[in-house]
Amino acid sequence: MITAPLRWYPIFFLFMYLLVVFSFFYEDLPTDQAVFYEGLFMDCYILCAILSLLPKKVYKYFKYLFYTVGYLVTATEWFLYNRFWLRYTPTTIQLLIETNSDEAGDFCRAFLISKQMGQVLLLMLLILTANVLLEIYEKPIRRFLRKQLTWRSHYLGYIGFSCFIVVYFVYCFCTTLENKKLFVEYFRLNGAERIERVMGPIQFYSPELRLAYSFKFTRLTAGEVEILRKTMHKLQVDSCDYKCPNIVFIIGESYNKHHSQLYGYPLETTPNMVRRQKKGELIRFDDVITPWNVTSNAFKSFLSTHADDEKGLWADGVLFPALFKKAGYHVSFFTQQFMKSSRLAAADFNGSFFLNDAELDSLCFDTRNKLKWTQDNGLIKEYGKHKGDYTDRNLFIFHLLGQHVEYKQRFPKAQEFFTIDNYKDRNDLSKAEKYIVADYDNATRYNDNVVDGIINLFVNEDAIVIYMPDHAEEVYDEIHAFGRLHDANLSPSLVRQEFEIPLAVWCSKKFRRRHRSEFKKLKSISKRPYKTDDIAHFMIGLAGIHTPFYNAERDWASDSYKLHPRIIKHTADYDSIMSSEKK
């Protein structure tokens, strides 16, 4: 029974399998991951099993349908990759959805008769020809082979084939079970918040799975955009005091607070912040956590006026940059990850699908960069390119790559400061792991230089700069791993390394002189506990914007501030987790 689907439809199985294997090589996919081949075997087996269960009158129609879908989907992706270096991703589908009839017609005329399409069609025609010939001559080939085999060899071959298929079937089933569960979890999702726990499109190993993944992703995000759009149509600003003319929000990436010299780390990873703190112009906030250890969900939570401990979705709030723009501030967004591009990675798409929506983008921002820079200091140059656009009142948002993996790519080689010799006392680390920690600390030190460079842009202005990363991550501190462990239990050690973040506020000399009470207030509140999904209200309060979307009880600097439950990943209370460790 297990071998029947393969014995009945060997040609169908072979070519459905080969189409995807060819895709591995044609699209430069990672062919060293054996689980891809095992997962592919199970997928093709399931298709054959479906055919074997269908009545004889209809199974041929379904077989031809599967063939048609397989060849069309694969050929289209091969063309996209050959011509544009694209595969099926949520961004690709979004671009197709946004294409109007005129653009589609131009596309067809320009590319369907192109050299790249000819190459794809030629290769596909060769595969299809072989496929058709074997389908036509399958029965004669079977009869020929039976005549050449003796009864004994036929019997032994049958037994050997059956044993091999059964053993390999069980092996593939066990090997791919977790991966299949992941697929099922993904396709059952009704919201986008857990999307990054599911592997990216590169691990949806076949064109068909990548296409299904992308359509599902696009549908989920489109639903959230519609909810947010309805809320944003209710934008209301009654008045504004313009308490601070220049507010700068620097968003870091993957910053482990416990690798910061500012917070007691023994190595000099943040000399500039420490220097400014000693001069009395930088305030360190001691107890800040993020509700999420993934960029996309962190961005949604801190840009929206809706807090994670409240009922409903993040999209039930409004994006605070839009309130600033409506109040009369010039809003600039300089990002290293979220510019609109057909080659956005899945995580970046999930973090920016709402920021890259044309209507929402126009509501939130006046100025944005169109290209990424190799290193984060490029954003300082980006600021200079648009200097003529700024007004007397500005909100600047800088979004850095920070310490995002791979760490060694996050700082110029010329600025390497730490080596493995700095970790001689770390006997718990191998040589390779010491290199990783050194790279991370070098990236942290370079991040300190970039933040200091941004601060220098506003030294002579009436300005306040808030630095905050989206989340943290483990770097061989309490758990012997680096990166983020999305599916791990929320233990105190994991929470400490991945959810506790640094937050620093720098105030210019003019700000400290003109807003003495505000500066004094910031220093007095720096020891209290906070969560980043309330920072929208802190920002609104800094500007003095009067709007129904402002909640003084969530404004850190307000006399009415109240600490709300610090919920992590919508499932656990941070303070309860950490108090259990003390007990």
* Number of alpha carbons in the 13 Å side-chain half-sphere of residue 287: 12
SS3 286: strand
pLDDT higher than 70, residue 34? no
Lowest-pLDDT choice from 105-114, 226-235, 288-297, 470-479: 105-114
Distance separating alpha carbons of residues 410 and 407, to the nearest angstrom: 5
Residue 87 pLDDT: 81
Provide the residue ranges of all domains of the chain, joining segments of one domain with +.
4-207, 239-582
pLDDT category at 326 given cuts 50, 70, 90 is very high
pLDDT higher than 70, residue 294? yes
Segment 449-458 mean pLDDT: 98
Chain segment 475-485, per-residue pLDDT in tens: 999 988 898 88
Distance separating alpha carbons of residues 403 and 448, to the nearest angstrom: 11
| 137 Rama class: left (phi>0) / alpha (psi -120 to 50) / beta | alpha
Distances from the Cα of 378 to the Cαs of 8, 246, 343, 399, in angstroms?
60, 21, 20, 11
Residue 201 pLDDT: 46
pLDDT higher than 80, residue 120? yes
* Alpha helix ranges (H) inside 408-468: 431-456
Residue 116 pLDDT: 72
Chain segment 151-177, per-residue pLDDT in tens: 677 677 778 878 888 888 888 888 888
pLDDT higher than 70, residue 345? no
| 254 Rama class: left (phi>0) / alpha (psi -120 to 50) / beta | left
pLDDT higher than 90, residue 248? yes
Return the percent helix, strand and coil in the chain, to nearest 5. 55, 10, 30
359 prior amide bond cis, ω within 30: no
Residue 102 pLDDT: 60
pLDDT higher than 60, residue 376? yes
Residue 571 pLDDT: 85
pTM: 0.79
pLDDT higher than 80, residue 298? yes
Angle at 340 between CA 292 and CA 289, to 5 degrees: 15
Which CATH topology does 239-582 take? Alkaline Phosphatase, subunit A (3.40.720)
DSSP 565: P
Chain segment 388-441, per-residue pLDDT in tens: 999 999 999 999 999 998 899 999 999 999 999 999 999 999 999 999 999 999
Question: Residues 308, 309, 311, 315: what is their CA dihedral angle, to the nearest 10 degrees?
Answer: -20
Segment 522-539 mean pLDDT: 96
pLDDT higher than 80, residue 460? yes
518 prior amide bond cis, ω within 30: no
Distance separating alpha carbons of residues 256 and 480, to the nearest angstrom: 15
Q: Which helix (H) or strand (E) holds 397?
A: strand 394-399
* Number of alpha carbons in the 13 Å side-chain half-sphere of residue 164: 8
The angle that helices 535-543 and 295-303 make with each other, rounded to 10 degrees, is: 40
pLDDT higher than 80, residue 103? no
Residue 220 pLDDT: 80
pLDDT higher than 80, residue 574? yes
The angle that helices 138-148 and 115-136 make with each other, rounded to 10 degrees, is: 50
